[in-house]
């Protein structure tokens, strides 16, 4: 984009942005003639990805700011007016929540005032709330749509905007594309009313405790062995950190009402948009749990866990040989699948057709365990919106499967159907209950994981992410995916590739015969999967919410083999595959 085009884009934004601070940022860049920064802010516009809108906070069309939020909400409001359903004599409804990030409360209010201007009665949480409670509230209040302002686990410079539909799940086709198309057609004609007007007209309704109470009762209902918690409450030491986010109050309340004492990490207990004690407020990152693990070691806790800023992801650590072992997202999923389906099978509370949903990049060990307990297993694309869509399909099918549990490798879990997104609040309760159960049987969580490995085979997973910022970064990632399609590897670390699945067009190609099959029944997505002859799976996927390309590696061992022996062999293979992928990325990036 040349300088004149950049100037025009910047001036256009300045004329539309009402917030002085964000408008002033762009005015200053124009005055300084900082065209490199202006190009980054205007070469493209933020679009809906797997999680809605997400980006760095700042002025510009490629940033998160009040105008972008208003524009997206204007498009959403127009679509709701056209496609939303309402009860006779009642208005269309929306619900909005936000987390602890910079400007989250401002963005939430601006979205509410746009919706209210369209006559959509909007329920706005009076303070920060976790994402799963927003999903719950959409269903509870009979709303057509919902919005949560959050950038989940991203660095503090980011914020985001996730849109939900009437089932409580994030929007999927056709709603997602229709909403962004409406937003693209917004040209300076954004409708707004003031906060006072909205309240006086009954179009802005503040909510808090009444939804909290209902949500807490629903979460407590996921407990499978509540008597176990009551009987062992005094023996459990549980350390928890909300990582300066929205999870603290509700998790402490849920567990407290079940008689459990939660020991908080005081330095990270209070919400703080600067996340001063962590570089990344992400429970996937070992460093994010350092303070919690330190406290757990001091107290000899049986469980240490943390949640991300909007409390939809959870990470745990458990004691082992005097230290604390961080459980991966895949491993925790395996443990929860084993506990939930195993406990329900034992207590004979599994439905006739129990369903477990995973993603195509989640470890197949979960499939093996779930099927062992009689579950029907469904795999879908990364992103809980696809899981929610399957849940809706189950409900629409006569005598269809009954949803029990879902998860994805990136530390997201859901048990029960009252929420349609990953839910770290209910997952925390089940992690505590699972820990109590294994301790009551004289073993640790890791002991149980090793038993699972012996029975079903040791699996090891690893991810490799590479960030490519800006316009050039997008070109590099597009080029890498094109290269992998046009000239794919035929082996990784000496293990032959049997077939390649291209989720973008639903094809599956056998490398030995060259025969292609159009039988991949998944929504189109820019994902490639390489299936190796030893059942290893390698997946490549550019992120829909961050400027990065991500590779997922999953390699299995043999059932019956001792985990410590399999770990060395499989770990060597994973490391070799990872090294080869790094070389592919470096070559594609011109390193």
Question: Which are the catalytic amino acids?
Answer: 152
Residue reference for tokens 């990632």: 477
Nearest 5°: CA angle at 252, between 269 and 314?
75
Taking each helix axis from N to C terminus, what angle separates 470-486 and 35-42, rounded to the nearest 10 degrees? 50
**DSSP readout, 337-361?**
HHHHHHHHHHTT---SSEEEEEETT
Nearest 5°: CA angle at 185, between 182 and 188?
120
Residue 474 in tokens: 């997008």
Q: How many CB atoms lie within 10 A of CB 495?
A: 18
For residue 526, give the H/E element and its range: none
Q: Where are the alpha helices (DSSP H) in 382-423?
A: 384-396
- Listed residue (192, 216, 228) closest to 439, CA to CA: 228
Classify burial at 204, counting beta carbons within 10 Å of its beta carbon; exposed 0-12, middle 13-18, buried 19 or more.
buried
At 314, phi and psi to the nearest 5? -135, 140
Determine contact, residues 333/366, Cβ cutoff 8 Å.
Answer: yes
Determine contact, residues 39/1, Cβ cutoff 8 Å.
Answer: yes
Residue 581 in tokens: 């992928």
């Amino acid at each position: 984009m040349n300088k004149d085009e950049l100037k025009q884009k910047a001036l256009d934004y300045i004329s539309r942005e009402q917030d002085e601070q964000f408008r002033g940022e762009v005015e200053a860049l124009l005055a300084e003639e900082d065209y490199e920064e202006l190009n980054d802010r205007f070469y493209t516009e933020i679009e809906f990805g797997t999680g809605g809108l997400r980006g760095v906070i700042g002025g510009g069309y490629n940033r998160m700011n009040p105008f972008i939020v208003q524009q997206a909400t204007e498009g959403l409001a127009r679509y709701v007016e056209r496609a939303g359903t309402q009860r006779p004599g009642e208005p269309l409804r929306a619900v909005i929540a936000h987390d602890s990030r910079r400007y989250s409360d401002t963005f939430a209010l601006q979205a509410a005032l746009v919706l209210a201007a369209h006559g959509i009665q909007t329920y706005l949480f009076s303070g920060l709330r976790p994402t799963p409670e927003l999903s719950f509230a959409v269903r509870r209040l009979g709303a057509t749509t919902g919005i949560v302002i959050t950038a989940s686990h991203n660095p503090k410079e980011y914020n985001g905007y996730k849109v939900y539909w009437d089932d409580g799940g994030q929007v999927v086709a056709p709603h997602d594309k229709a909403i962004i198309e409406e937003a693209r057609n917004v040209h300076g004609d954004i409708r707004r009313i003031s906060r006072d007007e909205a309240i006086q007209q009954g179009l802005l309704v503040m909510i808090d405790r009444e939804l909290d109470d209902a949500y807490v009762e629903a979460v407590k209902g996921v407990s499978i062995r509540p008597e176990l918690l009551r009987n062992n409450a005094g023996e459990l030491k549980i350390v928890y950190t909300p990582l300066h986010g929205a999870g603290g109050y509700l998790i402490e309340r849920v567990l407290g009402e079940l008689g459990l004492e939660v020991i908080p990490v005081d330095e990270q207990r209070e919400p703080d948009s600067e996340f001063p004690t962590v570089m990344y407020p992400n429970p996937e990152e070992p460093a994010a749990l350092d303070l919690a693990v330190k406290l757990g070691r001091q107290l000899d806790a049986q469980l240490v866990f943390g949640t991300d800023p909007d409390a939809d992801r959870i990470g745990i650590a458990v004691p082992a040989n005097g230290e604390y072992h961080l459980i991966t997202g895949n491993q925790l999923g395996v443990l929860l699948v084993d506990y939930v389906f195993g406990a329900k099978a034992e207590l004979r509370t599994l439905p006739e057709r129990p369903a477990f949903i995973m993603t195509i990049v989640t470890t197949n060990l979960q499939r093996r365990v779930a099927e062992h307990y009689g579950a029907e297993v469904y795999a879908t694309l990364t992103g809980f919106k696809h899981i929610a869509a399957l849940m809706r399909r189950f409900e629409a099918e006569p005598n269809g499967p009954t949803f029990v549990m879902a998860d994805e490798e990136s530390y997201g879990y859901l048990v029960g159907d009252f929420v349609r997104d990953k839910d770290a609040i209910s997952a925390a309760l089940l992690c505590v209950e699972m820990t109590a159960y294994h301790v009551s049987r004289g073993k640790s969580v890791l002991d149980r994981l090793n038993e699972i490995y012996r029975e079903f085979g040791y699996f090891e997973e690893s991810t490799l992410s590479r960030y490519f910022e800006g316009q050039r970064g997008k070109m590099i990632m597009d080029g890498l995916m094109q290269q992998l399609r046009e000239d794919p590897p035929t082996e990784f670390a000496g293990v032959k590739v049997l077939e390649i699945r291209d989720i973008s067009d639903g094809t599956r190609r056998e490398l030995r015969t060259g025969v292609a099959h159009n039988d991949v029944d998944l929504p189109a997505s820019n994902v490639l999967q390489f299936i190796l002859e030893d059942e290893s799976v390698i997946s490549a996927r550019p992120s829909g919410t961050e400027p990065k390309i991500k590779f997922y590696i999953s390699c299995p061992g043999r059932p019956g083999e001792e985990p410590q022996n399999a770990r060395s062999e499989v770990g060597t293979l994973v490391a070799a595959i990872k090294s080869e992928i790094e070389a592919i990325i470096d070559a594609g990036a011109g390193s």
